[in-house]
Amino acid sequence: MKMIYENNKEFHLTTDKTSYIIKVLPSGHITNLHYGRKIKHRENFDSLYQNFNTPVGLEVNYSKYIDDFTLNTTKLELSTYGKGDFKEPSIHIEMENGSRVSDFIYESHKIFQGKYKIEGLPHTFENTTDQKGKNRDEVNSLEITMYDENSDVYVILQYSVFYYKDVITRSCRIVNGERGIIKIHKAMSMNIDLTHEDCELITLEGKWIREKHIQKQALSKGVYYLDSKRGVSGADHNPFMSIKKKNSDENNGECYGFALIYSGNHQGLVEVNPHEIIRLQMGINPFDFSWTLHKEEGFQTPEVIMTFSYEGLNKLSRNFHNIINNNVIPPQWQHKERSIIFNSWEAVGFDFNEKKLLNLARNAKELGMELFVLDDGWFRGRNDDTSSLGDWMVDDKKLPGGLTQLCHRINEIGLHFGLWVEPEMISEKSERYRKHPEWAIKLPNREPSLGRNQLILDMTNPEVREYLYKTLKRIFSSSNIKYVKWDMNRSVTDVYSNYLESWKQMEFHHRYVLGVYELIGRITKEFPHILFESCASGGNRYDLGMLYYMPQTWASDNTDAGERMNIQYGASLLYPQSTLGAHVGSNPSLQTLRNNSIESRFNVAAFGILGYELDITKISNFEGKVIKKQIEFYKKHRKLFQFGEFYRIKSPFKSNQSILMVVSEDKNEGMIGYYQKLQESNMTLETIKLKGLKEDNQYNLYTREQFMNIEQFGELINEFVPFEVRTNGLKGLVHKIVSDNYLFKGENQRIEAYGDELMYAGFKPYPQFNGGGYNEKVRYIGDFGSRIYYIRTNRTSK
C-alpha cells in the first residue's frame, strides 16, 4: 500500500484518515502544506502553498535571488535562527567561529519500508507480532537530509507513518561534517507550523498527589512553554499537548495530539506569531542543555508521536492508546492481563517483619489477590526514609531468612512475589555513600540540597551503572521475583557530575536520562519475565520513555477515590488504562483524610491495573466480603478493564460527575464507571449517552452488585432493613456491629436495549436519593459515591 507519495520533492504522507503534506521550496527549505483530515492524492499540491507575493513590511527577504520570500511568514518543518525567521528556532547551533546562524537546505531524501533507526533512546517500533487486520502494522519512513554548507552540518528529518494507527512519528538527527567542533544549544525533535483557526491548547498539569489535571486555554499571540527542569519528565507538565479547534469536543471536531517519548527535562512550545502561524515544538528542554559534536559525530533527538482526529478528543486518545499498547510497551507485555496486586506500603510502611508480611499475604490470598509486593523498608537500616538507599542488603532482623525465604513462603501461600527498589538514589547515611561520595550528584564545594532526605546517583558514570546492574541482578536472581516497582523519589538539584569533564557539564541532564535508559534496558532484557512498574513518588515520571521499558506506572501516590477520579480521567487523554497502576488504599485516605467507601475505592481503581494496599488484616467483615466480590468481578472482566477501548463521557473537571466507559474490541461488552463528587439535593434526572456500541446489537445493562454500609443511612435505615437498628448511645454499638457485618445491597437496575438507543437516546439511570424516601428503584450515591454498570450483547446484528 502506498503511504508516502513523492513527486518533485513534494511528499504526501497518508494514514488511514490523515494527510501530512510537505514540500521543498525553491529556496531549499521545507514547508508544511497540510496536516489534518485525509485528502485525495494528486500530482501536486502547489495550490496549498501561500505566500504574500510582495514584500512584507518589517520582514527580511531571505535572499536577493528569490523575490518576496521571507522565512517568518513561511510554515517550516525545520527552523533555525538568523535568516529571517523570528519565531523560536527548532535547532540552534554555535559554530567554532562563534557564529550562531545556520540555514539548512534540502540535499536528498529516501523513502523506505519500516521505521527509521533511533539508537540509545526509547521509540515506537513496528509491531510484527499482531497480525490481526487493522492492528497489523504497515510502516513506511521518509528521511530528508538537510545541509548547511556554511557550517558543514547536516540535519536529517525523520518521519515514520503508522498507516492504520493514524500516527506519524518524528525525530531528527544532527550530524557534524568535517570542518570543526559545533555546540548544539537547542535540538527539538519536531517543528510544525499550522494555521491558527481559533485554537485551544490542552495540557496535563499537576504536582505530587494531584497529577494530570486537564488544563485548557485559548491560544493567543505570544509564546507558551510547558517544560520540566526537574531532571525527570515531572508531575508539573506532562510531555504531551493537544491543539484543538475551539468548537471541538470529546466526540466531534478536529484536534491534534503530540507526545514526546522522553523521561528527562523536556519542553513543549506553542507560539502564535503576528501572521497567525502556530508553531509547535517538542523535544529536550534547551534550558541548561548544550551538546558538543566533534567532527563527524551525531546527535539523535527523542521521538514525538503525532496524531490527528476529526472525531474529537476521544478518538485522539484511542489513537494514542492503540499505538502505546501495540508499539511502545515491551512486546512480551502487550495485551497480557496483569495480576491483582497487594502492596505493603499503605498497610505497614516501614514497620514489618516476616510474620506480619505473611499474615498480610494469607489475607490477600484469601481475598483473591495474586501478587504480593513488598514495598520500601526491606533492606538493612531502612526504618524510615532517612537512610540506607544504595546499600541494598536485606535486613535480616525483619527478614531472618532473607528475600529467598520470604518469597518461598509467599509462593507457598499461593501468591507471586514482587519487590520495591529505588536504584537511582543514595542516602548520605549508607555504606555506599561513605565509600563513594563522588557517585552522588552534587558540587565539590557546595552543600547539596536533599529531597526526601536523599541524593541521586550520577547515572552518567558507567561505574555507577555497572554497580547498580550487578546489585540488581543479585537481588532479582535471589528469589522467584515476578514483579519490580522501580521508584525514583526526588528531582535533580545541585547539577554536577564528578565524572564528566567540565565542557560536558551542560550535557549532564540528557546523559543522566541516557544512563537510566541504558541500565533499565539491560535489566529488563536480562529479566524479561519480570513485570516492571515505574514510579516516581507516583506520577513524577509517568511518560512514554519509561513505558517503553516498563509497561505500567504507579500513576499517583494519591489513593483517595475522589482525587484519583480526576487524575485517571486526565491521564486517559494520552495513557491507556493498561499502563496505569491503581490501588484501593486506606480509609480515611492517607493523602486527604477523606472517607471513601470501599466500593468507590474499587470502582475507581478497577479502570486501571487493580491492586490493594490497605491493611487487610484490620478490615471489617463487611469490607472483607465486599473486597472478595470486587476481585471476583474484576477477574471475570479483567481484559475489558485493562485493554477495552476507552471513552470519556462526562468530565470531573467540568461537572460534579465523572463518567467513562470501556468497550471490548468486538463491541459486545462494556463497562461504565459513574463517579460523583458531592451529593446534590433533589438532583435532576440523568441521561448517559453511551459510546462505542454497535447500533444494531441488543444489549443487557446491569448494575454491578454493590453493597452499602448501613451506617450511611443513619436513622433512615429502619425503613428498609428487616430488623430494628438503634443508632445512638450504647445501642449505637449494635449499629456498628450490624454495619460491620451486614451486606446491604444497593439498587440493581437492568435494562435491555439496542445499541443505537443507548447511544443516541441514552441510558436513564434510576433517580438519585432526593430526600423523599428510598426504595430499590432509587440510587443512593452520596459524597464520592460511584457505580459500575456492565453491558453485554445478548443479540448481535447480522
Q: Closer to ligand GLA at the Cβ: 585 or 644?
A: 585
CB of 209 to ligand GLA, least distance (A): 10
Whole-angstrom distance, CA of residue 86 vs CA of residue 545: 32
CB of 586 to ligand GLA, least distance (A): 13
Instruction: Report the interhelical angle of 354-367 vs 402-413 (nearest 10°).
Output: 30
Task: Please say if 557 is a catalytic residue.
Answer: yes
Q: Closer to ligand GLA at the Cβ: 80 or 537?
A: 537
Q: Catalytic residue among 85, 148, 391, 487, which?
A: 487
- The alpha helices in 176-243, defined as continuous H runs, are none
* Beta carbons of 306 and 190 less than 8 angstroms apart: yes
Helices H, strands E: what count in the chain? Answer: 14, 38
CA-based Rg of the chain, rounded to a whole angstrom?
28
Q: Closer to ligand GLA at the Cβ: 325 or 344?
A: 344
Q: Closer to ligand GLA at the Cβ: 20 or 345?
A: 345
Whole-angstrom distance, CA of residue 314 vs CA of residue 322: 12
Which segment (132-140, 145-153, 313-321, 530-538) binds ligand GLA by CB under 6 A?
530-538
CB of 541 to ligand GLA, least distance (A): 11
Q: Closer to ligand GLA at the Cβ: 244 or 490?
A: 490
First and final C-alpha spacing in the chain:
30
Only one residue has cell 543514595, namely 426
Q: Closer to ligand GLA at the Cβ: 350 or 774?
A: 350
Size of the site for ligand GLA (CB under 6 A): 12
Which one of 268, 302, 312, 538 is in contact with ligand GLA (CB under 6 A)? 538
Task: Please say if 740 is a catalytic residue.
Answer: no
CB of 233 to ligand GLA, least distance (A): 15
Whole-angstrom distance, CA of residue 565 vs CA of residue 524: 31
CB of 451 to ligand GLA, least distance (A): 11
Whole-angstrom distance, CA of residue 203 vs CA of residue 224: 11
* Beta carbons of 741 and 725 less than 8 angstroms apart: no
CB of 420 to ligand GLA, least distance (A): 5
Query: Can you spell out the DSSP letters for 5-40?
Result: EEETTEEEEE-SSEEEEEEE-TTS-EEEEEEEE---
x/- binding map, residues 730-769, to ligand GLA, per CB under 6 A?
----------------------------------------
Q: Does 375 bind ligand GLA (CB under 6 A)?
A: yes
CB of 673 to ligand GLA, least distance (A): 23
Whole-angstrom distance, CA of residue 787 vs CA of residue 673: 6
Q: Does 487 bind ligand GLA (CB under 6 A)?
A: yes
Residue of closest CB approach to ligand GLA: 376
Whole-angstrom distance, CA of residue 618 vs CA of residue 630: 18
CB of 536 to ligand GLA, least distance (A): 7
CB of 722 to ligand GLA, least distance (A): 44
Provide the CA 21 distance to its chain's centre, in angstroms. 29
Whole-angstrom distance, CA of residue 506 vs CA of residue 525: 30
Three-state DSSP state, 767: coil
Instruction: Show contacts with ligand GLA in window 550-569 (CB under 6 A).
Output: 554, 557
Q: Closer to ligand GLA at the Cβ: 89 or 539?
A: 539
Whole-angstrom distance, CA of residue 503 vs CA of residue 269: 28
Whole-angstrom distance, CA of residue 172 vs CA of residue 194: 19
CB of 235 to ligand GLA, least distance (A): 11
Three-state DSSP state, 793: strand
Which one of 10, 77, 85, 376 is in contact with ligand GLA (CB under 6 A)? 376
Name the residue among 322, 296, 294 with its Cα closest to residue 309.
Answer: 322
Whole-angstrom distance, CA of residue 384 vs CA of residue 376: 9
Whole-angstrom distance, CA of residue 686 vs CA of residue 778: 12
Which segment (250-258, 363-371, 427-435, 534-542) binds ligand GLA by CB under 6 A?
534-542
Q: Is the dihedral of CA 216, 219, 222, 224 positive or negative?
A: positive
Whole-angstrom distance, CA of residue 21 vs CA of residue 39: 10
Which segment (8-16, 491-499, 514-522, 535-543) binds ligand GLA by CB under 6 A?
535-543
Whole-angstrom distance, CA of residue 260 vs CA of residue 164: 20
Q: Does 535 bind ligand GLA (CB under 6 A)?
A: yes
Which segment (223-231, 404-412, 531-539, 588-596) binds ligand GLA by CB under 6 A?
531-539
Q: Does 575 bind ligand GLA (CB under 6 A)?
A: no
Q: Does 467 bind ligand GLA (CB under 6 A)?
A: no
Which one of 20, 345, 784, 790 is in contact with ligand GLA (CB under 6 A)? 345
Contacts of 357 (CB under 8 A, 6+ apart): 344, 348, 372, 374, 406, 410
Q: Closer to ligand GLA at the Cβ: 286 or 377?
A: 377
Provide the CA 416 distance to its chain's centre, in angstroms. 26
x/- binding map, residues 405-444, to ligand GLA, per CB under 6 A?
---------------x------------------------
Whole-angstrom distance, CA of residue 154 vs CA of residue 192: 19
Whole-angstrom distance, CA of residue 598 vs CA of residue 583: 11
Which segment (316-324, 430-438, 532-540, 773-781) binds ligand GLA by CB under 6 A?
532-540
Which segment (46-54, 432-440, 473-481, 533-541) binds ligand GLA by CB under 6 A?
533-541
Whole-angstrom distance, CA of residue 71 vs CA of residue 110: 25
Name the residue among 499, 435, 503 with its Cα closest to residue 463.
Answer: 499
CB of 555 to ligand GLA, least distance (A): 10
What are the phi and psi torsion angles at 479 (to 5°)?
-155, -175
Q: Does 81 bind ligand GLA (CB under 6 A)?
A: no
* Beta carbons of 595 and 614 less than 8 angstroms apart: no
Which grid coordinates belong to 540? 513524577
Q: Catalytic residue among 137, 391, 557, 560, which?
A: 557
Count of beta carbons in the 10 Å neighbourhood of residue 493: 16
Q: Closer to ligand GLA at the Cβ: 515 or 538?
A: 538
Q: Closer to ligand GLA at the Cβ: 18 or 489?
A: 489
DSSP symbol at 197: S
CB of 395 to ligand GLA, least distance (A): 14
x/- binding map, residues 290-329, to ligand GLA, per CB under 6 A?
----------------------------------------
Q: Does 392 bind ligand GLA (CB under 6 A)?
A: no
x/- binding map, residues 671-710, to ligand GLA, per CB under 6 A?
----------------------------------------
CB of 516 to ligand GLA, least distance (A): 17
Q: Closer to ligand GLA at the Cβ: 343 or 697?
A: 343
Q: Is the dihedral of CA 215, 216, 217, 219 positive or negative?
A: positive
Q: Does 586 bind ligand GLA (CB under 6 A)?
A: no
Q: Closer to ligand GLA at the Cβ: 80 or 427?
A: 427
Environment class of 652 (CB within 10 Å of its CB; exposed 0-12, middle 13-18, buried 19+): buried
Which one of 79, 281, 460, 489 is in contact with ligand GLA (CB under 6 A)? 489
The footprint of ligand GLA (CB under 6 A) covers: 345, 375-376, 385, 420, 487, 489, 535, 537-538, 554, 557
**Active-site residue list:** 487, 557
